[in-house]
Structure 1
């Protein structure tokens, strides 16, 4: 799991995470299915093993750890409800896994190890809630912030980029085309009347 998470930001987004991909990433073997199962559980993969929007966000170094932190806190909500930093207390962590999942000593050991590896790649300070203050899903907002940060190092705030494709009707006069453009400026971009250079 540690090797996989380390490689995610360094490699192109795969169309699907399966045994073939893991083998190509030198992660084949008996743990392949476990890796895929955990990635689904924390929301990086969907039910058909395709990377999700959360995976996309995790690929971005500037927001990835916070995104993973949000997913870990959601997946292991009972642990974080019991203690602020369950990943820092092995005794408490073993107790929590014993209560909420159970299993043999080796199973508990594997579960604890997986949890701690996930936490190694996550940050929990200022982790956004499921829905941001703007009402947008937090992951989508983090993706927007990531794109803005990648496009411009001069700004640290999210920005919106709009690509507007206009299909003009045929057989119109120049004045009718000008009116269409002015309406777009007025109603979409909130510009006032643009006639006469205004």
Structure 2
């Protein structure tokens, strides 16, 4: 059953708590000391840690998750919060895809049905209050910006190859490098051998 057991007994500091997270450096562990350091020492505010876990902002060890860090991007915070609410209250959104628009009494009735009488009226009231106040701070209409999109580099243009006519061959060499080629001449008294050799050199190297 995807209905969080975590809830707040008072939501008066909920918006301020979320705003404080956005402007603070993420902790290694979101413990009570860190919460008090944000300026929320009340025992009611301690329940906020469990709510963050249910929203997927903290793992079971109370360490910030990827969603927590995504929430720190203030241009995406409300959208990320909406994603967390949809995941935390998955069964409720399966019953009503627009559950974020339900009134508090309707939410409580849905919780009562989904929990099959597991919770008291007092607890259901606080669960409904927590959900309704969370959705007020979230953006369910906007789509999240794509994350980790692959960057496609511009294709490099193919190098232009200069066509060389048969009567204009390139000289052997790379940039500023020049090569000295030594040729061991064969021993022969026939001048035709040397004529053929030099014709071949002229054809392939010059």
Query: Which TM-score bucket, shorter chain as reference?
Result: 0.5 to 0.7
Change (3 A) 1:50 1:123: same
Which of the two has greater helix per residue?
A: 1
Root-mean-square deviation (CA, aligned residues, Å) is 2.8
Q: Does 1:99 align with 2:64?
A: no
Q: TM-score normalised to the size of structure 2? A: 0.60
Within-5 A mapping of 1:14-53 = 14-53=27-66
Q: Which residue of 2 aligns with 1:191?
A: 156
Is the Cα–Cα contact under 8 Å of residues 69 and 119 in structure 1 kept in the other structure?
A: yes
- Relative to the length of structure 1, the TM-score reads 0.62
Structure 1 residue ranges without an equivalent (≥5) = 129-137, 145-157, 162-187
Find the counterpart in structure 2 of residue 121 from structure 1: 137
Alignment of 1:13 with 2:11, yes or no, is: no
Give 1:111 deviation, angstroms: 0.8
Greater relative contact order (Cα 8 A, min sep 6): structure 1 or 2?
Answer: 2
CA deviations on 1:60-96 (whole Å, 9 max, x unpaired) are 1211211111121122122122224324322210111
Structure 2: unaligned runs, 5 residues or longer: 1-13, 162-206
